[in-house]
């Protein structure tokens, strides 16, 4: 195995163009497990830990650009107000050690439907900026990033550079269901984001389909009820039945299978429960924070 | 001589350790220990503690020798298949490959086993389980060895695997082992009347999944070819002498040419009783005349050892209206998998302990273990008693509910006590404080455990799911449940169970030294420390050292069945006493006084009957060392008769009870165990800190079994051979554990000890299952409890 160590993004992209077979490594929390289990024997790896451009967190207008090499721990510490849901998702990753090493770029690159940050990134409409030395940069919506399990939309000469995270325009929630209290791959996970400016709701569903799914009907249902009932302006309590219906629609949007971690039936059920709870948490939080200003 | 004193009935010989655990301070120790620093009864520091914490301890996977080769194993991807051909030519031709061996290359016996020689060293003709060894490879580096193993082409003709044990023994299934009907053993126990009825009857069916021991140090070891044509084996194992017998037979060598030294063991829990890489690495070492190391990967480790038997249990309890048990009928079916391992003994235990620590005049018990094409099952902490505890405790709760009784009261009403009769007819001759244990856990203080309401969230990390943020208190229900269980200590059913210790008192550069040599495996339980404590207590004349365990001394038996403190501890004590006696003989002769009345005091002086100092330094008596090697045996046990299962099969019984407090998110089926109160009779707390570790560790095994630990086998194939998908409790899943430790000495045991390792793993699981039932009202009949079972009310 060749071990390549670029010190700049342009050098890294040149190496990736020359060695399209090379697997990038950043935190190593996924790749090293695969190597250890003999599931991967990359012919070359590109160590991105010395590429400073990937470590930046930049605030530009209504977005935060999070470098692909930023570990979960930094996200939790630095993005609490701009991306609260992403922080919640980052907090659910593995253990303190894994959160210190694992990165947002890695979570995308592994392209697992169980990637903990991905449902929330889909819910908020985040995009991944990728680059090649030949064709320059392009943005891929996170919802389109995974093509099928462990396969992404990345071309063989491309690297993930950073993620455009729209700053929160309303309450966000992320939750996951696993059979123990830490260090667990989710049986199902769910991200929710209110966009109070656009008067819209975004969702993301993890571990319940070959890719990260969203629930457009559920989103539309909430937006419609909120418009009809005037909740966008009044911040009144959730009308009866909205959360439950939202949960049902999220459950229907899922496309789960039976596997070693859970059954399809349970996944659908868990997503309904989690979505209904998340909607209540998010809306109640919004009502708490706006109480003073609207009174 | 013995220093066991009977229990003083006027005091309570136990102590409660509140949570978080505080230093152990027995209020009324049953057997006051002598005042020797680091002696019996103290929390003497373990010599391997600091190296392990610092990552400096050498485990068996860290072994290294000049010129060493690395071994790898070719394993069957099928649960049941004919081997049509094995082509090793490509593997052999690879650079760096030094040997590729198959069944034909096994020099001696081609099968081995702990109870029956039925497991092939390397399979030929047929493979009977997923992961069975077919060929072995040695190469210059581990990666080449693995690649060469991949390059061995085995052509299989797949057969329909027999994966349902009920079908396996039905008579309709083909036999996996000729002449067995796929029944490894059928234990029948007929106690009292067989045709008896009762006014109150409850029935139930219960199921337990396949748990793994999940030790952290994978199977590993190194073999050096000896100049005499023999082998020197360094391996992590539980019983070197039984390994030696099997290895010698398979290598076609006399036993004295197979020398085994214990390497650093990273956990065992039963999984190292059977051979793993011992014969394979020896074959490769003899073939290449080079040292060979084999280290299983984590995935391979799941195929490299036996697991806990899955069980299907049918119970019927009959009782009077007042709640006295009249009869119990039990049928336990265990899946033993493809080979025997220790299945017959597990089935014996499952039968004998199937009704729990209760008095019942009539019992009809059938405990059956089947051969299937599932992974072989064998020894694991609790050994048969764990499975049935789920059943008998669920039944006691069910009976209590039917009678409208408190579940603890019902248990106490039927609790076994000293003098009770087992279903085997054996009288329980040592203390059996079942009532006291239940009272202790019932009366243990409840931790302050606020029920979190929906609007009053303080910290989600305290809730089911923790930081996964799956509930803020919605659907969270509190439940409390109880469990009590017991099992035997030491080997049973007439097995000649002994341990050997050689104790040498010699003159070192700075004075007398006591060295202890035995072959017992330190598997992390702290036996080395215990032996040092015993040597310090019995021979307080200088530092005590424990030599590396190896086969240059007699057998110590296995580090299993909660037996080593009793057995090897007993052997060390006995040999120390004989050394001490010889020392006093020499003192008498040296000074020219009568032997009678002389004793060795705690300060290392020899004193006369008037307590005057005869000699203040024994060094001068040691111009020649004093060395004693003796075997120590416990009381004889007897077989159970095959038709009625009657017989004094057991040596000693050990009891524990648990109370579990859980929060369940009933909406998602996620459980959080908040607190476990446990009570255990340990006879004598030899090393209180280690004892607490055993109790917490056993409880964690029980938490894992109750909630998450299961090897999922579908169609004979293991689906989750990794710690990503075989889940064991993390620190965030472990509840606080508050302990009541009782010291009711067993007069027959050294220092009054009772084995302590297994009981905590028996009663913890049923207590949690009961607590989940209490919280949700769902009839939990299977562990591990899956979220589906709670949500959909299985």
Interface membership of A76 toward B (CB under 8 Å): no
Residues 156-185 of A with CB under 8 A from B: 173-185
Q: Is there a single domain that holds both residue A84 and residue A181?
A: no
Interface membership of A190 toward B (CB under 8 Å): no
CB contact under 8 A, A261 and B670: no
Residue A31 lies in a domain: yes
* Burial class of residue A16 (count of CB atoms within 10 Å of its CB; 0-12, 13-18, 19+): buried
Which residues have a Cβ under 8 Å from the Cβ of B394 and sit 6 or more positions away? Answer: B204, B206, B315, B766, B769, B770, B780, B781
Q: Which site among B469, B703, B723, B734 would you substitute to test the A interface, given the most A Cβ atoms closer than 10 Å to its Cβ?
A: B469
**The domain boundary residue, chosen from A166, A193, A222:** A166
Give the nearest chain B residue to A116 (CA atoms). B468
Cα–Cα dist A39/A42, whole Å: 10
Measured on CA atoms in the order B689, B691, B696, B697, is the torsion positive or negative? positive
Give the nearest chain A residue to B143 (CA atoms). A38
Q: Is there a single domain that holds both residue A140 and residue A98?
A: yes
Interface membership of A228 toward B (CB under 8 Å): no
CB contact under 8 A, A273 and B669: no
The vertex-B477 CA angle with B472 and B480, nearest 5°, equals 135
CB contact under 8 A, A277 and B471: yes
CB contact under 8 A, B724 and A274: no
Residues of A within 8 A of B785 (CB-CB) are: none
pLDDT in tens, B340-372: 999 999 999 999 999 999 999 999 999 999 999
Percent of all residues in chain B with a pLDDT value above 70, rounded to a whole number? 94
Q: Which site among B465, B700, B772 would you substitute to test the A interface, given the most A Cβ atoms closer than 10 Å to its Cβ?
A: B465
Percent of all residues in chain A with a pLDDT value above 90, rounded to a whole number? 95
Interface membership of A39 toward B (CB under 8 Å): no
Q: Does B157 score more than 70 pLDDT?
A: yes
Strands B81-87 and B153-158: antiparallel
B146, B720, B730 ranked by CB distance to A38: nearest: B146
CB contact under 8 A, B469 and A92: yes
Q: What is the mean pLDDT of residues A213-236?
A: 96
Lowest mean pLDDT among B30-39, B154-163, B234-243, B373-382: B30-39
Q: How many CB atoms lie within 10 A of CB B475?
A: 17
Dihedral, CA atoms, B447, B448, B449, B450, nearest 10 degrees? Answer: 170
Interface membership of A37 toward B (CB under 8 Å): yes
Strands B231-235 and B220-225: antiparallel
Q: Å from A278 to nearest chain B CA? A: 8
pLDDT in tens, B566-588: 999 999 999 999 999 999 999 99
Cα–Cα dist A287/A277, whole Å: 15
Closest of A51, A93, A50 to residue A74, by C-alpha: A93
Scanning B353-433, the segments in alpha helix (DSSP H) are 385-403, 407-414
Q: Is there a single domain that holds both residue A182 and residue A230?
A: yes
Q: Does B121 score more than 80 pLDDT?
A: yes
pLDDT level of residue B452 (50, 70, 90 thresholds)? low
Q: Does B431 score more than 50 pLDDT?
A: yes
Q: Å from B730 to nearest chain A CA? A: 7
Q: Å from B53 to nearest chain A CA? A: 17
Cα–Cα dist A138/B456, whole Å: 46
Closest of A285, A180, A277 to residue B466, by C-alpha: A180
Cα–Cα dist A91/A115, whole Å: 13
pLDDT level of residue B14 (50, 70, 90 thresholds)? low
Lowest mean pLDDT among A181-185, B63-67, B80-84, B270-274: A181-185
Interface membership of A188 toward B (CB under 8 Å): no
pLDDT level of residue B33 (50, 70, 90 thresholds)? very low
Q: Å from A241 to nearest chain B CA? A: 16
Give the domain CATH number at A261: 3.30.390.50
Please state whether B232 falls in left (phi above 0), alpha (psi between -120 and 50) or beta.
beta
Q: What is the largest CA-CA distance in chain A?
A: 65
Q: What is the pLDDT of residue B32?
A: 43
Cα–Cα dist A14/A3, whole Å: 15
Q: What is the mean pLDDT of residues B282-295?
A: 98
Q: Which residues pair with B206 in a beta bridge?
A: B313
Q: What is the pLDDT of residue A289?
A: 86
pLDDT level of residue B115 (50, 70, 90 thresholds)? confident
Measured on CA atoms in the order B603, B608, B610, B616, is the torsion positive or negative? negative
CB contact under 8 A, B466 and A186: no
Number of residue pairs across A and B with CB atoms under 8 Å? Answer: 100
pLDDT level of residue B456 (50, 70, 90 thresholds)? low
- B581-600: b (≥16 Cβ within 10 Å) or e: bebbebbbeeeeeeeeebeb
Residues of A within 8 A of B787 (CB-CB) are: 177, 179, 187, 262, 266, 270
Residue A180 lies in a domain: yes
Closest of A6, A28, A27, A21 to residue A157, by C-alpha: A21
pLDDT in tens, A78-106: 999 999 999 999 999 999 999 999 999 99
Residues of B within 8 A of A95 (CB-CB) are: 730
SS3 A220: helix
Q: Does B2 score more than 80 pLDDT?
A: no
Q: Does A71 score more than 90 pLDDT?
A: yes
Cα–Cα dist A90/A112, whole Å: 15
SS3 A234: helix
Interface membership of A121 toward B (CB under 8 Å): no
Residues of A within 8 A of B786 (CB-CB) are: 179
Q: Does B454 score more than 80 pLDDT?
A: no
Cis peptide before B784 (omega within 30 of 0): yes
Element (H, E) at B441: helix B434-443
* Burial class of residue B6 (count of CB atoms within 10 Å of its CB; 0-12, 13-18, 19+): exposed
Scanning chain A, the segments in alpha helix (DSSP H) are 9-18, 31-36, 72-78, 84-91, 96-101, 104-110, 118-123, 216-229, 231-234, 242-253, 264-294
Please state whether A53 falls in left (phi above 0), alpha (psi between -120 and 50) or beta.
alpha
CB contact under 8 A, A179 and B471: no
Give the nearest chain A residue to B709 (CA atoms). A179
Q: What's the count of helices (H) and strands (E) in chain A, helices before strands?
A: 11, 13
* Burial class of residue A42 (count of CB atoms within 10 Å of its CB; 0-12, 13-18, 19+): middle
Give the nearest chain A residue to B464 (CA atoms). A181
Residue A184 lies in a domain: yes
Q: Please name each of the domains of chain B with its CATH number.
A: 33-58+498-633 (3.30.365.10), 63-159+216-267+272-304 (3.90.1170.50), 311-492+639-791 (3.30.365.10)
SS3 B622: coil
Closest of B565, B8, B555 to residue B237, by C-alpha: B555
Q: What is the mean pLDDT of residues B406-421?
A: 98
Lowest mean pLDDT among B57-66, B308-317, B444-453, B512-521: B444-453
Give the nearest chain A residue to B718 (CA atoms). A260
Order the strands of the A188-195 sheet from edge to edge.
Answer: A172-177, A188-195, A200-206
The number of domains in chain A is 2
Q: Is there a single domain that holds both residue A245 and residue A162?
A: no
Which residues have a Cβ under 8 Å from the Cβ of B602 and sit 6 or more positions away? Answer: B34, B35, B36, B540
pLDDT level of residue A193 (50, 70, 90 thresholds)? very high
Residues in B whose CB is inside 8 Å of some CB of A read 146, 297-299, 464-472, 474-475, 667-670, 672, 707-708, 712, 719-720, 722, 724-725, 727, 729-733, 786-788, 791-792
Q: What is the pLDDT of residue B10?
A: 39
User: What is the ipTM for the molecules in this complex?
Assistant: 0.96
Which residues have a Cβ under 8 Å from the Cβ of B665 and sit 6 or more positions away? Answer: B463, B464, B465, B470, B471, B474, B475, B476, B671, B672
Cα–Cα dist B347/B367, whole Å: 6
pLDDT level of residue B447 (50, 70, 90 thresholds)? confident
Cα–Cα dist A167/A58, whole Å: 12
Q: What is the mean pLDDT of residues B56-78?
A: 97
CB contact under 8 A, A266 and B468: no
**The domain boundary residue, chosen from A133, A166, A199:** A166
Strands B200-208 and B782-783: parallel
pLDDT in tens, B129-143: 999 999 999 999 999
Element (H, E) at B513: strand B511-517
Cα–Cα dist A289/B547, whole Å: 68
Order the strands of the B258-262 sheet from edge to edge.
Answer: B97-101, B133-139, B69-75, B292-295, B220-225, B231-235, B258-262
Q: What is the pLDDT of residue B5?
A: 36
User: Could you tell me how far CA A267 lies from the centroid of its own chain?
Assistant: 19
pLDDT in tens, B473-522: 999 999 999 999 999 999 999 999 999 999 999 999 999 999 999 999 99
Measured on CA atoms in the order B591, B593, B594, B597, is the torsion positive or negative? negative
Give the nearest chain A residue to B473 (CA atoms). A277
Give the nearest chain B residue to A263 (CA atoms). B788
CB contact under 8 A, B787 and A173: no
Cα–Cα dist B334/B308, whole Å: 10
Q: What is the pLDDT of residue B617?
A: 92
**The domain boundary residue, chosen from A144, A166, A188:** A166
Q: Is there a single domain that holds both residue A116 and residue A229?
A: no
Find out whether B19 and B735 touch, Cβ atoms under 8 Å: no
Interface membership of A270 toward B (CB under 8 Å): yes
B466, B668, B786 ranked by CB distance to A270: nearest: B668
Lowest mean pLDDT among A61-65, A213-217, B26-30, B119-123: B26-30
Residue A112 lies in a domain: yes
Give the nearest chain B residue to A41 (CA atoms). B143
Q: Which site among A1, A110, A114, A180 would you substitute to test the B interface, given the most B Cβ atoms closer than 10 Å to its Cβ?
A: A180
Give the domain CATH number at A93: 3.30.465.10
Q: Is there a single domain that holds both residue A147 and residue A14?
A: yes
Residue A171 lies in a domain: no
Cα–Cα dist B601/B259, whole Å: 39
Residues of A within 8 A of B670 (CB-CB) are: 177, 179
Q: Does B34 score more than 80 pLDDT?
A: no
Long-range contacts of B81-84 (CB under 8 A, 24+ apart): B81/B126, B81/B127, B81/B156, B81/B157, B81/B158, B81/B159, B82/B125, B82/B126, B82/B156, B82/B157, B82/B159, B83/B123, B83/B124, B83/B125, B83/B126, B83/B127, B83/B134, B83/B154, B83/B155, B83/B156, B84/B155, B84/B156, B84/B157
Element (H, E) at B654: strand B652-665
Cα–Cα dist A15/A6, whole Å: 8
CB contact under 8 A, B730 and A274: no
Find out whether B231 and B257 touch, Cβ atoms under 8 Å: yes
pLDDT level of residue B449 (50, 70, 90 thresholds)? confident
Residue A295 lies in a domain: no
Q: Å from A14 to nearest chain B CA? A: 30
Give the nearest chain B residue to A187 (CA atoms). B787
Find out whether B624 and B424 touch, Cβ atoms under 8 Å: no
* Domain membership of residue A215 as a residue range: 176-290
Q: What is the pLDDT of residue A290?
A: 82
Residues of B within 8 A of A183 (CB-CB) are: 730
CB contact under 8 A, A36 and B297: yes
Closest of B244, B169, B213, B203 to residue B558, by C-alpha: B244
pLDDT in tens, B745-793: 999 999 999 999 999 999 999 999 999 999 999 999 999 999 999 999 9
Q: What is the mean pLDDT of residues A279-291?
A: 91
Cα–Cα dist A23/A18, whole Å: 12
Which residues have a Cβ under 8 Å from the Cβ of B189 and sit 6 or more positions away? Answer: B351, B352, B363, B364, B365, B366, B367, B423, B424, B640, B644, B645, B646
pLDDT in tens, B700-743: 999 999 999 999 999 999 999 999 999 999 999 999 999 999 99
Q: Is there a single domain that holds both residue A226 and residue A270?
A: yes
Cα–Cα dist A225/B768, whole Å: 43
Q: What is the pLDDT of residue B1?
A: 34
Residue A151 lies in a domain: yes
The vertex-A195 CA angle with A192 and A200, nearest 5°, equals 85
How large is the C-alpha radius of gyration of chain B? 27
Q: What is the mean pLDDT of residues A46-73?
A: 98
Look up residue B550 and give its DSSP letter. Answer: B
Q: Is there a single domain that holds both residue A37 and residue A129?
A: yes
Residues of B within 8 A of A88 (CB-CB) are: 469
Q: Å from B733 to nearest chain A CA? A: 6
Q: Is there a single domain that holds both residue A135 and residue A32?
A: yes
CB contact under 8 A, A179 and B727: yes
pLDDT level of residue A293 (50, 70, 90 thresholds)? low
pLDDT in tens, B237-274: 999 999 999 999 999 999 999 999 999 999 999 999 99
State chain B's mean pLDDT as an integer: 94
Q: What is the mean pLDDT of residues B81-109?
A: 98
Q: Is there a single domain that holds both residue A65 and residue A142?
A: yes
Residue A156 lies in a domain: yes
Q: Is there a single domain that holds both residue A161 and residue A184?
A: no
Q: Is there a single domain that holds both residue A158 and residue A226?
A: no
CB contact under 8 A, B787 and A187: yes
Find out whether B363 and B423 touch, Cβ atoms under 8 Å: yes
């Amino acid at each position: 195995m060749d071990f390549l160590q670029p010190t700049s993004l342009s050098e890294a992209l040149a190496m990736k163009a020359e060695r399209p077979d090379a697997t990038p490594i950043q935190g190593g929390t996924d790749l090293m497990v695969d190597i250890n289990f003999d599931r991967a024997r990359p012919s070359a790896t590109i160590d991105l830990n010395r590429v400073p451009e990937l470590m930046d967190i930049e605030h530009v207008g209504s977005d935060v650009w999070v470098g692909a090499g930023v570990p979960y721990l930094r996200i939790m510490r630095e993005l609490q107000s701009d991306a609260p849901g992403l922080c919640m998702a980052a907090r659910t990753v593995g253990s303190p050690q894994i959160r210190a090493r694992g990165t947002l770029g890695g979570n995308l690159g592994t392209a697992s439907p169980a990637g903990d940050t991905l449902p929330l990134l889909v819910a908020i409409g985040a995009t991944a900026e990728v680059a090649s030395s030949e064709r320059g940069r392009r943005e891929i919506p996170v919802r389109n990033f995974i093509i099928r399990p462990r396969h992404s939309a990345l071309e063989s000469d491309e690297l993930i550079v950073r993620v455009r995270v729209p700053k929160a325009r309303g309450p966000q929630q992320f939750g996951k269901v696993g059979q123990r209290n830490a260090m667990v791959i989710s049986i199902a996970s769910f991200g929710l984001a209110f966009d109070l400016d656009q008067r819209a709701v975004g969702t993301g569903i993890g571990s319940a389909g070959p890719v990260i799914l969203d629930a457009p009907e559920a989103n539309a249902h909430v937006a419609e009820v909120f418009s009809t009932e005037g909740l966008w302006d009044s911040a009144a309590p959730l009308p009866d039945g909205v959360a439950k219906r939202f949960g049902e629609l999220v459950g229907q949007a899922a496309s789960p299978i039976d596997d070693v971690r859970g059954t399809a039936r349970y996944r659908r059920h868990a997503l309904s429960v989690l979505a209904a709870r998340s909607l209540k948490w998010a809306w109640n939080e919004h009502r708490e924070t706006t109480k003073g200003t609207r009174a | 001589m013995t220093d066991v004193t009977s229990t003083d009935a006027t005091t309570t010989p136990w102590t409660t350790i509140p949570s978080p655990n505080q230093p152990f301070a027995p209020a009324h120790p049953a057997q006051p220990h002598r005042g020797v620093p680091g002696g019996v009864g103290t929390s003497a520091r373990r010599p391997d503690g600091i190296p392990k914490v610092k990552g400096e301890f050498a485990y068996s996977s860290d072994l290294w020798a000049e010129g060493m080769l690395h071994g790898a194993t070719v394993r069957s991807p099928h649960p049941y298949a004919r081997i049509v051909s094995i082509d090793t030519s490509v593997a052999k031709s690879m650079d760096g490959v030094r040997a590729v061996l198959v069944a034909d290359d096994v020099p001696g016996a081609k099968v081995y086993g702990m109870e029956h020689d039925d497991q092939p060293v390397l399979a030929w003709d047929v493979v009977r389980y997923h992961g069975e060894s077919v060929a072995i490879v040695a190469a210059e580096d581990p990666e080449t060895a693995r690649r060469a193993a991949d390059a061995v082409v085995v052509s299989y003709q797949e057969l329909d695997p027999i994966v349902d044990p009920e079908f396996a023994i039905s008579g309709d299934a083909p036999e996996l082992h000729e002449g067995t009907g796929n029944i490894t053993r059928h234990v029948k126990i007929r106690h009292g009347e067989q045709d008896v009825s009762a006014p109150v009857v409850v029935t139930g069916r219960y199921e337990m999944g396949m748990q793994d021991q999940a030790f952290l140090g994978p199977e590993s070891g190194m073999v050096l070819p000896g100049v005499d044509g023999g082998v020197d084996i360094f391996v992590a194992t539980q019983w070197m002498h039984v390994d030696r017998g099997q290895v010698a037979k398979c290598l076609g060598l006399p036993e004295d040419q197979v020398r085994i030294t214990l390497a650093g063991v990273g956990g065992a829990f039963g999984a190292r009783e059977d051979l793993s890489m011992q014969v394979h690495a020896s074959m490769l070492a003899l073939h290449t005349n080079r040292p060979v190391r084999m280290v299983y990967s984590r995935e391979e480790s799941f195929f490299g050892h036996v697991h806990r038997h899955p069980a299907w249990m049918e119970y019927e309890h009959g009782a009077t209206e007042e709640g006295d048990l009249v009869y119990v009928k039990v049928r336990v079916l265990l899946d033993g998998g493809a080979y025997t391992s220790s299945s017959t003994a597990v089935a014996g235990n499952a039968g004998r302990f199937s009704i729990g620590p209760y008095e019942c005049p009539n019992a009809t018990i059938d405990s059956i273990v089947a051969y299937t094409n599932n992974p072989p099952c064998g020894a694991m902490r609790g050994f048969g008693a764990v499975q049935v505890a789920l059943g008998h405790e669920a039944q006691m709760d069910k009976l209590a509910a039917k009678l409208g009784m408190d579940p603890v009261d019902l248990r106490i009403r039927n609790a076994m006590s000293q003098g009770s009769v087992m279903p085997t007819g054996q009288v329980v001759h040592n203390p059996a404080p079942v009532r006291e244990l239940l009272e202790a856990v019932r009366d243990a203080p409840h931790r302050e455990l606020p029920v979190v309401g929906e609007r009053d969230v303080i910290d989600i990390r305290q809730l089911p799911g923790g930081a996964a943020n799956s509930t803020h208190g919605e659907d969270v229900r509190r439940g409390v449940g109880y469990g009590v269980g017991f099992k035997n200590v030491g080997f049973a059913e007439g097995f000649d169970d002994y341990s050997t210790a050689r104790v040498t008192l010699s003159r070192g550069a700075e004075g007398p030294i006591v060295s202890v040599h035995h072959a017992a495996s330190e598997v992390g339980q702290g036996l080395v420390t215990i032996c040092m404590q015993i040597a310090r207590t019995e021979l307080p004349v200088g530092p005590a050292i424990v030599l590396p365990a190896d086969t240059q001394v007699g057998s110590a038996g296995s580090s299993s069945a909660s037996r080593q403190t009793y057995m090897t501890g007993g052997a060390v004590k006995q040999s120390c006493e004989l050394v001490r006696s010889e020392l006093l003989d020499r003192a008498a002769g040296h000074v020219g006084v009568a032997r009678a009345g002389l004793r060795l005091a705690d300060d290392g002086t020899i004193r006369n009957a008037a307590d005057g100092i005869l000699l203040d330094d024994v060094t001068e008596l040691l111009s020649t060392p004093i060395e004693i090697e003796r075997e120590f045996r416990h009381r004889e046990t007897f077989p159970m008769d095959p038709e009625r299962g009657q017989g004094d099969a057991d040596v000693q019984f050990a009891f524990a009870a648990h109370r579990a407090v859980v929060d369940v998110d009933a909406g998602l089926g996620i459980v959080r165990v908040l607190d476990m109160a446990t009570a255990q009779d340990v006879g004598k707390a030899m090393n209180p800190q280690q004892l607490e570790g055993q109790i917490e560790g056993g409880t964690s095994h029980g938490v894992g079994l109750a909630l998450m630990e299961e090897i999922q086998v579908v169609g004979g194939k293991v689906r989750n051979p990794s710690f990503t998908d075989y889940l064991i409790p993390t620190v965030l899943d472990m509840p606080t554990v508050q302990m009541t430790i009782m010291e009711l000495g067993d007069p027959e045991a050294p220092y009054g000890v009772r084995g302590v390792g297994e009981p905590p793993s028996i009663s913890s699981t049923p207590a949690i299952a009961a607590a989940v039932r209490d919280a949700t009202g769902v009839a939990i009949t299977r562990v591990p409890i899956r979220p589906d079972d709670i949500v959909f009310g299985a």
